[in-house]
Amino acid sequence: MTIPTYECDKVNNKLTFHCPLCMKVHTHGSEEGHRISHCNNSDYHPNGYFLKNKGKQNEIKISLDS
């Protein structure tokens, strides 16, 4: 069994990545590690996936304050 690892950007303290199977952006908590898939089709990642932060240079904070 192979469980994929996806490199993520950190946006507002959440890990995000573009899923190559369902073509959607998935958002998870801020910690690296194993996650249950957010894909609508459970066949895409039946055993979930691992998330890895690309690095501090990719951390983005978006402020909604005006």
How far is the CA of 50 from the CAs of 10, 13, 40, 46, 63, in angstroms? Answer: 15, 17, 18, 12, 28
Amino acid at 16: T
pLDDT in tens, 6-63: 999 998 899 999 999 999 999 999 999 999 999 999 899 999 999 999 876 555 566 6
pTM of the model: 0.80
pLDDT for 16 equals: 95
